[in-house]
A and B are shown apart, each in its own frame.
Chain A
Amino acid sequence: MPKVEINIDGVNVLVEEGTSILEAAKMVNVRIPTLCYHPDQAVKGSCRVCVVEVENQRNLVAACCTPVSKGMKIKTRSKKVREARRTILNLILADHNQECLACVRNGNCELQNLCMELNIRDTKLEKINKSLPIDNSNPSIVRDESKCIKCGRCITACHEVQGVGAIYNINRGSEMKISTPLNRKLSEVACVYCGQCINVCPVGAIYEKNDIDKVWDALEDGRKHVVVQIAPAIRVSLGEEFEQDPGSIVTGNIVAFLKRIGFNKVFDTNFTADLTIIEEGHELLHRLNNGGKLPMFTSCSPGWVRYIEYFYPELLDNVSSCKSPQQMFGALAKSYYAEKEGLDPKDVVVVSIMPCTAKKAEAVRKEMNDSGYQDVDIVLTTRELGRMIKESRIQINELEEENFDDPLGISTGAAAIFGATGGVMEAALRTVYEVVTKETLENIDFKDLRGLAGSKEATVNVGDLEVNVAVANGLENARKILDLVKEGKANYHFIEIMCCPGGCIGGGGQPIPGTNEVKEKRIEAIYNVDTLSELRKSHENPVVNILYEEFLKEPLGEKSHKLLHTHYHSRS
């Protein structure tokens, strides 16, 4: 693209033709306000908060969707512009539930920030906002329409990124709103509870169900033995809630905090991630050697499992029967661990900290009671953990780092990378290779499978076997692979699918904003955790090996089948 000279607020700047005014303004250090704009989504141009004045143009133009052209003279802060922006914000505010002090996004709300930055001092229009019933019909996600500002970002996430389509614009004019089909409750529509809508919502119109108090109550109940597991992706993202740079690794601080507030044991989901690799790896080999259904899909991501149950039930036999690491942990905590510690499993409370909203729904699936009790009792998202820490008033950044407890706190680097797209596949290959060939895998970094690309593939020689693998993240990318599989056009053996873009580090329960830029940093951190680990292959996890010796006996054995494997059902 050729460069053109334009003038922004009196400053000349040379930019590529076709650049939006919004981007061009950044080059002269002017950040034009936006609301519907999201850096990872297609430009919408609908909120009009970013309007600017362009010389010789009849009307104001929206900076996000107007490309610069040669000689353009732009004013971004004239009286006309400032007044228009304020009126537009006032129009939005009149239909926005302004109970900001009791809002989940208080302090992290794009609308709140804009009002502050644009000097809104009076809301002069009559309030049109109606208090509407809040939809908290499901275990994961709450919708509060009275907060919705109709930016449409959630629809883009749901339709274009995830291909789910649980919500859409209905009606038109001032009656237009974001709705489930036929105004049904979210629990009654094909929603996978991935929470990607939450991650892009600029306000508090959609958020995870709050389970914090259940955890406080359990901790205060003297009869209960409360254990907690934290997912691989939490340690590289929680810091963002406490002014740390994206990609900061805060594992030790989290452990210290959890111990401080009274958890009896602080364990690691990474332990059962290693275990998953052993079980799933053997399942794959079993399928390969016994003419089982191929390709096999991973099953750790509950949003993905829900998706295939809704949209491709005919492929359910291709999904690994392995429970997710969260659920394997719950089942073991209330069997193996309870037995070992001499606890009555009914007194054990299992709490998980997950980057995920769908995990809340996974925990209450009726299949997830193999210990004789609900295997996982309470699931908190990363954001909820952040809120809990704030409420505790404990200064987490100042805590001395501590280590996970034995035995379910020991893990390898292979487990750590479960948190990023491609990680499960990489971890599985490290183990499958060595199990099959009985040789040491020298280069254990499968770099082709890493990174934010929507789908990736590789062919790996495992002894005489050529294993074709694929990795997809984001359900719209998954759909493309599923269609190929359905049409018999895919020759993969093993496919990792993560519901959320980027994998769990981009989960629907992660700190906001979790833009691609932030996700890259989280991924980098995940692989640092791996590299810094002493052990980097799941089958080298000594405690997993003890678990097999003492309890499970063998992969895919009877106990494993009872506790660590599950089945799925069609929801279509």
Chain B
Amino acid sequence: MIGKDKLIETLINVQKNSKGHYISEDKLEEISKELGVSLSKVHGVASFYSMLSTKERGEYVVQICNSGPCYIQGANNIATIFEEELGIKMGEVTEDKKFSLEFTSCIGACDIAPAVKINNEVYGGLNKEKIRELVEMLRKEGN
């Protein structure tokens, strides 16, 4: 049996292995049984940590940093550009489930602000052109 203290690790792993980068209700219930932790607490932990999601996300989770250093370099504009490029609003998922957009707190890429994290990769020094190229590249890569 997995120790109860491994709840967060377990949630991270389950999310990592899900195409939509999320933990479904079924999975939450499974984890609750497996670890012997009440479902309310499993949900509580999953909803506490912002990297964990109980809602389905895109194959590429675009996380736009909006902490201080990125904010003053125009993180909000970056968000708008992504919204336009992907045709969704922040917090939404594209229809083809390829991309989802969200804000994140600092990702430690302050020297290349404004920066985003897409799955495990960090991209910095963004502007409209770079974002277009990036989205284009990911669209192809996913296919």
Indicate if A touches B (C-beta under 8 A).
yes
* Residues of chain B with a CB closer than 8 A to A77's CB: none
* Residues of chain B with a CB closer than 8 A to A172's CB: 47-48
* Residues of chain A with a CB closer than 8 A to B41's CB: 159, 165, 168
* Residues of chain B with a CB closer than 8 A to A169's CB: 44, 48
A252 in the interface (beta carbon within 8 A)? no
Q: Are A182 and B25 in contact (CB under 8 A)?
A: yes
Chain B: interface residue total (CB-CB under 8 A): 12
Query: Closest CB of chain B to A155's CB: distance in Å?
Result: 9
Closest-by-CB residue of B relative to A183 is B43
B28 in the interface (beta carbon within 8 A)? yes
Closest-by-CB residue of A relative to B38 is A165
A181 in the interface (beta carbon within 8 A)? yes
Query: Closest CB of chain A to B25's CB: distance in Å?
Result: 6
Q: Chain A interface mostly helix, strand, loop or mixed?
A: loop
A166 to B42, CA, bound (A): 11
Q: Are B28 and A182 in contact (CB under 8 A)?
A: yes
A202 to B40, CA, bound (A): 22
Interface residues of B in 11-26 (CB under 8 A from A): 25
Q: Are A170 and B38 in contact (CB under 8 A)?
A: no
Closest-by-CB residue of B relative to A572 is B33
* Residues of chain B with a CB closer than 8 A to A289's CB: none
Closest-by-CB residue of B relative to A163 is B38
* Residues of chain B with a CB closer than 8 A to A168's CB: 38, 40-41, 43-44
* Residues of chain B with a CB closer than 8 A to A164's CB: 38
A165 to B97, CA, bound (A): 34
Interface residues of A in 174-197 (CB under 8 A from B): 179-182, 189-190
A171 in the interface (beta carbon within 8 A)? yes
Chain A: interface residue total (CB-CB under 8 A): 16
Q: Chain B interface mostly helix, strand, loop or mixed?
A: helix
Query: Closest CB of chain A to B108's CB: distance in Å?
Result: 21
Closest-by-CB residue of A relative to B47 is A170
Q: Are B48 and A181 in contact (CB under 8 A)?
A: no
B112 in the interface (beta carbon within 8 A)? no
Q: Are B39 and A170 in contact (CB under 8 A)?
A: no
Q: Are B39 and A189 in contact (CB under 8 A)?
A: yes
Q: Are A180 and B40 in contact (CB under 8 A)?
A: yes
Closest-by-CB residue of B relative to A169 is B44
Q: Are B47 and A181 in contact (CB under 8 A)?
A: no
A305 to B39, CA, bound (A): 20
* Residues of chain A with a CB closer than 8 A to B43's CB: 168, 170, 179, 181-182
A181 to B27, CA, bound (A): 13
A168 to B43, CA, bound (A): 8
Interface residues of B in 39-70 (CB under 8 A from A): 39-44, 47-48, 54
Closest-by-CB residue of A relative to B28 is A182
Query: Closest CB of chain A to B27's CB: distance in Å?
Result: 12
Known contacts A182-B25, A182-B28; is-contact A166 B48 (Cβ 8 Å): no
A253 to B28, CA, bound (A): 52
Pairs across A and B, CB under 8 Å, 12 listed: A159-B41, A165-B41, A166-B40, A168-B40, A172-B48, A179-B43, A181-B40, A182-B39, A182-B43, A182-B54, A189-B40, A190-B38
Closest 10 CB pairs of A and B: A165-B38, A168-B40, A181-B39, A168-B44, A181-B40, A170-B47, A181-B43, A171-B47, A165-B40, A168-B41
> Which residues of B pack against A, CB within 8 Å?
25, 28, 38-44, 47-48, 54
> Which residues of A pack against B, CB within 8 Å?
159, 164-172, 179-182, 189-190
| Given A165-B39, A169-B44, A189-B39; 15 other pairs, CB 8 A cutoff | A159-B38, A165-B41, A168-B38, A168-B41, A168-B44, A169-B48, A170-B43, A170-B47, A170-B48, A171-B47, A172-B47, A179-B40, A182-B25, A182-B39, A182-B54
